């Protein structure tokens, strides 16, 4: 049953996401932004603080990918997130695979899903908030299901796979997503977008 949930979630996610990026054309300028965002994301992801549940919370690592989605192109954030997922596995301690399925369910989803922050549009704050809520739900779902499938052996006595994964992943991802969203919303997004548009002319 748990395997079926993981497969359905992953298939739906990739089907929808690949549909959105099917006609994306990447310019040289976009590659430069991707490189900067990848570097910033991986650095912030490497700086982690321990929590009482045994989980750790990163130093607002979703912010660069959220900004890429909101300021430039959410589809570019999908692709950049996929690259982050591959590189995180190779260079960040604690992100090494325990099962090949974890790569598709967690690594490739939990970074790239931040691109959904721009899915509803970026001209109004409420659209950005809606997008970031969707992105956060997808990120938490990826971590949650991955925890159930691949880390249930770490469950505390009496908690079970779902209870353990909920407590572990919610304790780190809910505050992380909220804090990252607050930081993004505090920034002068319209001014930043205008400056980026001017620099591209």
H helix intervals, the chain? 2-21, 28-46, 63-71, 74-91, 100-102, 108-110, 125-150, 160-186, 189-199
Question: Using an 8 Å Cβ cutoff, are 81 and 34 in contact?
Answer: no
Torsion of CA 132, 81, 18, 150, to 10 degrees: -90
Question: Using an 8 Å Cβ cutoff, are 188 and 139 in contact?
Answer: no
**152 confidence band (pLDDT: 50, 70, 90):** confident
- Residue 154's contacts (CB-CB under 8 Å, 6 or more residues apart) are 164
- CATH for the stretch 2-199: 1.10.1760.20
pLDDT in tens, 65-123: 999 999 999 999 999 999 999 999 999 887 888 889 999 999 999 999 999 999 999 98
Task: Name the pTM for this structure.
Answer: 0.93
Asked whether residue 34 carries a pLDDT value surpassing 70, the answer given is yes
């Amino acid at each position: 049953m748990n395997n079926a949930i993981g497969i359905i979630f992953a298939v739906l996610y990739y089907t929808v996401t690949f549909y959105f990026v099917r006609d994306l054309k990447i310019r040289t300028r976009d590659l430069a932004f991707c490189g900067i965002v990848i570097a910033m994301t991986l650095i912030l992801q490497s700086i982690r603080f321990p929590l009482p549940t045994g989980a750790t919370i990163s130093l607002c690592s979703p912010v660069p990918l959220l900004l890429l989605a909101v300021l430039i192109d959410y589809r570019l954030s999908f692709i950049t997130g996929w690259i982050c997922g591959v590189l995180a596995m190779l260079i960040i301690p604690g992100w090494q695979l325990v099962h090949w399925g974890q790569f598709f369910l967690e690594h490739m989803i939990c970074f790239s899903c931040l691109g959904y922050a721009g899915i509803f549009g970026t001209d109004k704050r409420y659209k950005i908030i809606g997008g970031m809520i969707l992105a956060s739900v997808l990120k938490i779902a990826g971590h949650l299901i991955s925890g159930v499938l691949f880390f249930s052996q770490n469950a505390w006595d009496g908690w079970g796979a779902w209870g353990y994964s909920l407590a572990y992943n919610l304790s780190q991802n809910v505050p992380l997503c909220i804090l990252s969203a607050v930081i993004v919303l505090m920034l002068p997004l319209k001014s930043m977008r205008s400056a980026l548009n001017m620099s591209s002319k």
